[in-house]
Amino acid sequence: MKYAPLLSPTTMQPLVLYDIPGEVPDKSGYWSPNAAKCRYAIRYKRLPYETRWVAFPDIESTMRALGASPTGKRNGKDVYTVPVLQDPNTGVIVSDSFAIAEYVDRVYPTIPDSVFESEGEKALIKAFDDALGMATRGALRWMMVCAKEVMVEEVKEWFVTMHEERLGMKWEEISPAGSELRREQKDALKAALDVVDGWYRRSGNGKWVQGDRFSYADCLVGAYMFWYSRVLAKEDWEEVSEWNRGRWAKVLKDVEEVCDGSY
């Protein structure tokens, strides 16, 4: 079901998207995958927005102060995450990338620029979101270790300690460069992307997950590729992006293009 627009992109105040800053080569700061998912949706819809940076160690205190909802539990305690969207036009604060995409699509439908074609499609794309996360899980620790390299300098030590505590292992054991374990993590990513490539092949050879129609599913695959392209060593991203006949380099390029490219 489509809703009548409440506010127009030309008269609205910019949305505020909270994200974690990094020191990426292009100096944009953007690297985080979860924020990228809903940022692509916002950009696809041509909605004005600004980024507010929150250092990783300050996420919980900043989000509590803002009145954002936690997105889960860890050891029985509420977990606060980014992205979080603050909409100055409505006063609404939304936590979680998927909920943010749903919110902007509902409140700012700007037909035909919807990322969900129907209410019913949301269930399937949510399942797709979860499936992508599960499929690529085997490479998560590799990405985690690489992500340290793009963290802002002051946070690097905190980032290491936080992961050591959460995983109960030394940083050097998580994904040692050149090790058999790293090889397995890379193979796990390759196997995962073969599965995702199989999903694309079912879609009638179109450019998008759903063939000819762009949807939030494409924002999701695009966000994973964006993340890999930002955190992986240059030669590793070059290799990964060429797997499956260059599909991943192309997906990232296509999503960036349709979501109005440059940051």
The answer to whether residue 83 forms part of the interface with ligand GSH (CB under 6 A) is yes
Handedness of CA 174, 78, 115, 209 (dihedral sign): positive
2-21 residues near ligand GSH, rule: CB under 6 A: 20
d(CA 39, CA 185): 28
Closest approach of Cβ 19 to ligand GSH, in Å?
9
Q: Which class for 205: exposed (0-12), middle (13-18), buried (19 or more C-beta within 10 A)? A: exposed
- Secondary structure percentages of the chain, helix, strand, coil, to 5: 55, 10, 35
Kindly tell me which residue out of 39, 44, 97, 188 binds ligand GSH, with binding defined by CB under 6 A: 97
For the bound state, the minimum distance from the C-beta of residue 5 to ligand GSH, rounded and expressed in Å, comes to 25
Q: How far is the CB of 185 from ligand GSH (least distance, A)?
A: 18
- Confirm or reject binding of residue 71 to ligand GSH (CB under 6 A): yes
Please report how close the Cβ of residue 35 comes to ligand GSH at its closest, in angstroms: 7
**Using CB under 6 A, which of 17, 42, 47, 82 touches ligand GSH?**
82
Least Å distance, CB 212 to ligand GSH, is 27
Q: Which residue is nearest to ligand GSH (CB)?
A: 81
- The dihedrals phi and psi of 196, each to the nearest 5 degrees, come to -65, -40
Residue number, 60 or 184, with CB nearest to ligand GSH: 60
Which of 6/92 has CB closer to ligand GSH?
92
For 185, the token pair is 């993590």
From the list 244, 254, 230, 238, the residue with the least C-alpha distance to 30 is 230
Across-strand partners of 210? 213
CB 242 within 8 A of CB 236: no
Decide if residue 34 touches ligand GSH (CB under 6 A): yes
For residue 117, give the DSSP letter: S
Site size with ligand GSH, rule: CB under 6 A? 13
> Under rule CB under 6 A, which residues in 227-246 are in contact with ligand GSH?
none
- List the one residue out of 143, 189, 113 whose CA is nearest residue 34: 143
85 is a site residue for ligand GSH (CB under 6 A): no
One-letter identity of residue 5: P
Residues of this chain that bind ligand GSH (CB under 6 A): 20, 32-34, 59, 71, 79, 81-83, 96-98
